[in-house]
Amino acid sequence: MKKSIGPKILHLPAPVWLVGTYDADNRPNVMAASWTGICCSQPPCVTVSLRKARYTHGNLMARRAFTISIPSEAQVKIADYVGMASGRNVDKYAQAGLTAVRSEHVDAPYAQEFPVVMECRLLHTFELGSHTQFIGEIVDVKVDEDALDERGVPVIAKLKPFAYLDGYRGLGDYLGDAFSIGKEIGEA
Amino acid sequence: MKKSIGPKILHLPAPVWLVGTYDADNRPNVMAASWTGICCSQPPCVTVSLRKARYTHGNLMARRAFTISIPSEAQVKIADYVGMASGRNVDKYAQAGLTAVRSEHVDAPYAQEFPVVMECRLLHTFELGSHTQFIGEIVDVKVDEDALDERGVPVIAKLKPFAYLDGYRGLGDYLGDAFSIGKEIGEA
């Protein structure tokens, strides 16, 4: 039997993405966001939803560029911190011991310490209610060299990304290959 | 050192959501989608991006309603199957042994067997390129009663959701509380 629990949001799981922007004084900022995801393959696009009150919201509207960094398990406290503190009041890069790097292709910074970064240019903004949805085109992805295999594919066991559910959780057992294990049920 | 790997899409991780719709003949259909996520808190909204060629795309445009079910680890083969087969050619509910239930609030079906379902009404569609982005308002969430704790909160260890990365992976170790463990780095 199913029980109704009302129109709640369940993140089962949601990503933990770190959004990098410059503010009006060219100071690098970074915040964690989980109302995020992939939303198009061609052009390759991500969606990031932010409340208007967030400092990053104004930065993104002004610069029309951002980065998305993917933190590793060992960086979970930093990810949590940059989701709570505001760049209005504090230099989060300094406080968390992060090294700001200017993106190669877009007007936004990223932290050298996170193993993966996507450089994004803002394509669309949609007002949805409490949140503005930002759609960004991925113009480049950079990955720590030692987390790539010999074919240049990122290795999950080295990146150790994590997710946001009832708290933060690492990724666990490998359950099977996508577009493959379902063939036991029926023809594709 | 970081290495550029170009404008690739990395799902690190992406959710595995099952989208339920009725077709023009009122047959229930279900497909897996991972270009998905949460995109607004008030109203509570989800985003699902689909290629125009998908059968669900037409169903969703016509009915303006859908469900999102969250499968459990033991259902990973079913999730993979419904992401490969098309409702144009086969009754996926029958093939996978699923029981179709009509939603209480929207014109869309869901499968009784998946532990969580969100009933959604379509609010917006945005053409992004290869994919159409569907924004749906969550009007109700239903959860298997035995997966709720005494406060009515879903228990992750009972739901056992999984994610899509290099393949499907379960969720692993608990790394810490959100909006909490970052306080070791600095003030919120």
Q: What is the pLDDT of residue A64?
A: 98
Average pLDDT over residues B133-153: 96
User: Within an 8 Å CB–CB cutoff, is residue B53 touching chain A?
Assistant: no
Do residues A44 and B8 lie in contact, with contact meaning Cβ atoms separated by under 8 Å? yes
- pLDDT of B57 higher than 90: yes
Q: How far apart are CA B161 and CA B48, in angstroms?
A: 18
Select from B178, B180, B184 the least CA-distant residue to B156.
B178
Please give, rounded to a whole number of angstroms, the shortest distance from the CA of A26 to a CA of chain B. 22
List, in sequence order, every residue forming a beta bridge with B65; answer none if it has no partner: B121
User: Is residue A163 within 8 Å of A171, Cβ to Cβ?
Assistant: yes
- Chain A positions touching B134 (Cβ under 8 A) are none
Q: Is residue B188 pLDDT above 90, yes or no?
A: no
CA-nearest of B138, B125, B118 to B43 is B138
| B110: nearest CA partner in chain A | A2
Residue pair A170/B176 in contact (Cβ under 8 Å)? The answer is no
Q: Model confidence at B139, in pLDDT bands (50, 70, 90)?
A: very high
Tell me if B82 and A182 make a contact (CB, 8 A cut-off). yes
Please tell me the predicted confidence (pLDDT) of residue A22: 98
CB count within 10 Å of CB B6 equals 11
pLDDT at site B50? 98
Residue B123 has, within 13 A of its CA and on its CB side, a CA count of 20
B138 touches chain A (CB under 8 A): yes
Position A5 scores a pLDDT of 95
Q: Supply the pLDDT for residue B22.
A: 98
Q: Is B118 on the interface with A (CB under 8 A)?
A: yes
Say if A152 is an interface residue toward chain B (CB within 8 Å): yes
pLDDT for A170: 96
When scoring B57, B72, B84 by the number of chain A Cβ atoms within 10 A, the one with the most, hence best to mutate, is B84
Q: Which residues of B touch A47 (CB under 8 A)?
A: 37, 39, 47, 133
pLDDT tens for chain A, 188 residues long, are: 999 999 999 999 999 999 999 999 999 999 999 999 999 999 999 999 999 999 999 999 999 999 999 999 999 999 999 999 999 999 999 999 999 999 999 999 999 999 999 999 999 999 999 999 999 999 999 999 999 999 999 999 999 999 999 999 999 999 999 999 999 999 88
CB contact under 8 A, B12 and A70: yes
For the record, the structure tokens of A173 come out as 């057992």
pLDDT for position A188 = 82
